[in-house]
Structure formats: structure tokens, C-alpha cells
């Protein structure tokens, strides 16, 4: 496999970097690079800037308004965005539900939903997990009963990331209780403003409101919002999860965090000596850096072989290793800050904070990052489930 960029790819990389450096607002860049708290407007504003440039959907084909970029070009773009301090684009619309709509949605659904995802007008969230239905996703119980031209939906979704901001939610719902569990699931798009939808916050260990419970009480959803065929939702869900698991690799994000970790280690002092001079700690950084390089090459191989097909079981490898690398990086950053990280001050994540601070500025986000990224090995299908997929579908065990 050729590991160096071609002259055309290097020229493309330079074009991308020049655009980001010119178009990315300084205040937004500084918030990202200093690990401050990002709001909905921060992410939405960057999406609008990219859309105006014609780069709003790096992974979409041109016929749907995307860039039509190759896997290498997408990787170059995402790595440049991460390195230069751009917010990550919202996955739920662009990388998760949009590919499902493209592959299985009707022309009317494609015309209705895709342009608003591309422009950033509609913010999407995911309605998969339920109380008691997480890794065992086929056991979802939220009901959708056909009533004329509508479905009447009742039930609950949980761990709904950024649902408090969402305009729409894509849901797995049960439309048939007979036969195998997988055969009675449908894929439904629901307007979050519909009467009967209620969002209640779940406050995480780091004090942030990132996830939610979402309740549905006799919510009337037009049957026109059904993706594909009734009771075929399991097929569409697996297609979507392949895209989600590929996205969890987050190579560009982890490369930026690795740079951050090295800065933390250089800033911390042990007996007047930089922690980066500690051989054992430096060896751990070197080990995770090598693993990240291997993950990047593996991701490029998977994406390059993908073509127009959905990501296959190989996406599970990316999910497992990407999530483990992310947890290792945040754990090392926490260890590098030592006791300074224990005194977590949520207000210090706001730009311009000038209040009390313990240790270096790097310590402000260390504990929050550590606790938040414990979830990586669970969402998108737990790593235990991913190893079963790898064993069965790749190794043939």
C-alpha cells in the first residue's frame, strides 16, 4: 500500500488547509483548541461555512450535494479540520441517517431531508437505545401502530446525545411482535416538535447535559416518514451502524488530542523536570502514537475498499481500536495533570474564564474528558459485541 500522498493529494491538502485557516473564525478555533465548551451555534455555524464553500458533506456523492471526494481526500480534510481547530461536523445527520436516506429512502424523502441536513438547518439525533435495549438492540419495545396515514408511537429512548437541540430523531420502532425480534422493527423519522414528544436531561459525571431520555406519548407520525419497507428496519439499522462505527475511529480527533497530551506532559513538572522526560510516561505516549498510526492506515484500507458499499464488519475493528485509543489518551492526560485534575471546575470550560484555577490550564478539561470518554467502548455497539462480529464475520470462528 502506498503510504505517501501523491502530488495531487498534497495540492488538495494545501487547498483545504488554506481554506480552513481563512474561513474558520478565530474565536471558534480558540474554543476548540483550548478544549472549551462548544454550543449548538458553534457547530452549526461551521457547517454553514462549509456548506457555502460546497464542502458541507465530505462523504456524500455529488448527486446528493456532496463533494464526491475519495476516502483519501475525506481523510485529508478531516485531519486538517482537527489539526487546525475546527469543530467536528455533527455525525447524526451527515454520517448516519443521511446514508440511510440515500440508500433506502424514497425520492421525496431524499429531496425533503437531505438538503436541510447539508445546510445545517435540521439537527438530528439518534433513537436506538431504550431502557433494557442497548447492546441487544433487536429487543427494542417502542411501539408504532398504523392508524390510517399515520403511525401512533409510544415508548422511550435513552442516552439520546444532544437530543435537547434536535429538530428530528430517527428511531427504531416495533411494528410487529411476531416471529424473530429483528423481523418486526421499522425505521421511522420523527419531528421532535410533534405533540407528545418530551425530552428530559441526563446529567453526566462531568456535570454536562449531553444526553437525554426522550419519551413518546401517542405521538402521531406520518407514514410518509417510514424509511423503506415496514418491518425491514433491522437491515437499515445495521447499514447505519457500519457508518457510525467507522466514524468512531476519530483518527483526526485523536491526533489532535495526542498533540494536546504532549503539551500537558511538557507543562507538568516533577521535581522541576518536565513529565515528558519521564521515560515510562514517554514510552506510554509512544505506544499509543504507534497504535494511532496503525489505526489510521487500517481506516484508509477499509474506506478505500468500501467503494459505494456500506462499511462491512471491518468497521468493528475501527470502532474497537478507535475507542480504546481515545480512552488511553484521556487517561494519560488525567494522569499527567495528577491531583490538579481532581479539582474539576466546570466554569473553567467557558471562554474567557478568569476565576480560580488549580494547576495549569490543561487541567480544566482533564477530568471531564476522562469521564466522558468512558462511554466510547459502549456506544455504537459495545466492544464486546464488536469482537463477536469480528470473530464470526471476519475470522469465521
pLDDT tens for the chain, 397 residues long, are 556 788 999 999 999 999 999 999 999 999 999 889 999 999 999 999 999 999 999 999 999 999 999 888 988 999 999 999 999 999 999 999 999 999 999 999 999 999 999 999 999 999 999 998 877 788 999 999 999 999 999 999 999 999 999 999 999 999 999 888 889 999 999 999 999 999 999 998 888 899 999 999 999 999 999 999 999 999 999 888 776 666 678 889 999 999 999 988 888 776 678 888 899 999 999 999 999 999 988 887 777 665 545 567 778 888 899 999 999 999 999 998 888 887 777 888 888 888 776 666 778 888 888 988 888 888 777 888 888 888 888 888 7
- Quote the crossing angle between the two packed helices 7-23 and 71-84, to the nearest 10°: 40
- Which of the following is catalytic: 78, 130, 230, 244? 244
Q: Does 333 lie in the same domain as 291?
A: yes
205 and 276 assigned to the same domain: no
Q: Which helix (H) or strand (E) holds 280?
A: helix 279-306
Question: What angle (nearest 5°) sits at the alpha carbon of residue 41, between those of residues 212 and 130?
Answer: 15
Place of cell 438492540: 137
- 297-320 burial, b at 16+ Cβ within 10 Å, e below that, comes to ebbbebbeebeeebbebbbbbbbb
Residues 278 and 345 grouped into a single domain: yes
| Structural domain boundaries enclosing 14 | 7-89
Q: Do residues 224 and 269 both lie within one domain? A: no
∠ Cα 116 165 84 (to 5°): 75
Known active-site residue 244: yes
Last residue of a domain, one of 89, 114, 137: 89
- State the total domains in the chain: 3
Q: Is 140 exposed, middle or buried (0-12, 13-18, 19+ CB in 10 A)?
A: buried
46 and 169 in a single domain? The answer is no
pTM for this model (two decimals): 0.89
Amino acid at each position: 500500500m502506498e503510504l505517501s500522498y501523491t502530488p495531487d493529494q498534497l495540492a488538495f491538502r494545501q487547498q483545504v488547509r488554506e481554506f480552513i485557516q481563512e474561513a474558520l473564525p478565530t474565536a471558534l478555533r480558540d474554543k476548540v483548541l483550548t478544549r472549551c465548551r462548544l454550543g449548538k451555534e458553534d457547530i452549526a455555524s461551521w457547517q454553514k461555512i462549509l456548506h457555502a464553500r460546497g464542502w458541507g458533506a465530505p462523504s456524500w456523492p455529488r448527486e446528493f450535494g456532496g463533494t464526491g471526494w475519495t476516502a483519501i481526500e475525506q481523510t485529508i480534510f478531516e485531519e486538517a479540520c482537527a489539526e487546525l481547530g475546527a469543530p467536528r461536523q455533527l455525525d447524526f445527520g451527515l454520517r448516519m441517517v443521511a446514508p440511510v436516506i440515500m440508500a433506502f429512502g424514497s425520492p421525496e424523502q431524499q429531496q425533503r431531508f437531505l438538503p436541510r441536513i447539508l445546510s445545517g438547518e435540521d439537527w438530528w439525533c439518534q433513537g436506538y437505545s431504550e431502557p433494557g435495549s442497548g447492546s441487544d438492540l433487536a429487543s427494542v419495545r417502542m411501539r408504532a401502530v398504523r392508524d390510517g396515514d399515520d403511525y401512533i408511537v409510544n415508548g422511550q429512548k435513552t442516552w439520546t446525545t444532544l437530543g435537547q437541540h434536535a429538530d428530528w430523531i430517527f428511531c427504531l420502532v416495533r411494528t410487529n411482535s411476531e416471529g424473530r425480534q429483528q423481523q418486526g422493527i421499522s425505521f421511522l423519522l420523527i419531528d421532535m416538535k410533534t405533540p407528545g414528544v418530551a425530552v428530559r436531561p441526563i446529567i453526566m459525571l462531568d456535570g454536562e447535559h449531553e444526553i437525554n431520555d426522550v419519551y413518546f406519548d401517542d405521538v402521531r407520525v406520518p407514514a410518509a416518514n417510514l424509511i423503506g419497507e415496514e418491518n425491514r428496519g433491522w437491515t437499515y439499522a445495521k447499514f447505519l451502524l457500519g457508518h457510525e462505527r467507522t466514524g468512531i475511529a476519530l483518527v483526526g480527533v485523536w491526533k489532535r488530542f495526542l498533540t494536546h497530551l504532549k503539551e500537558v506532559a511538557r507543562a507538568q513538572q516533577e521535581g522541576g523536570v518536565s513529565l515528558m522526560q519521564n521515560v515510562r510516561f514517554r514510552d506510554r505516549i509512544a505506544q499509543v502514537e504507534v497504535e494511532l498510526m496503525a489505526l489510521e492506515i487500517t481506516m484508509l484500507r477499509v474506506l478505500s475498499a468500501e467503494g459505494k458499499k456500506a462499511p462491512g464488519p471491518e468497521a468493528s475493528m475501527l470502532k474497537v481500536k478507535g475507542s480504546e485509543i481515545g480512552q488511553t489518551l484521556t487517561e494519560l492526560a488525567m494522569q499527567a495533570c495528577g491531583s490538579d485534575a481532581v479539582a474539576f471546575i466546570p466554569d473553567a470550560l467557558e471562554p474567557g474564564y478568569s476565576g480560580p484555577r488549580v494547576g495549569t490550564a490543561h487541567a480544566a478539561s482533564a477530568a471531564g474528558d476522562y469521564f466522558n470518554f468512558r462511554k466510547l467502548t459502549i456506544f455504537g455497539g459495545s466492544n464486546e459485541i464488536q469482537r463477536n462480529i469480528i470473530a464470526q464475520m471476519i475470522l469465521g470462528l
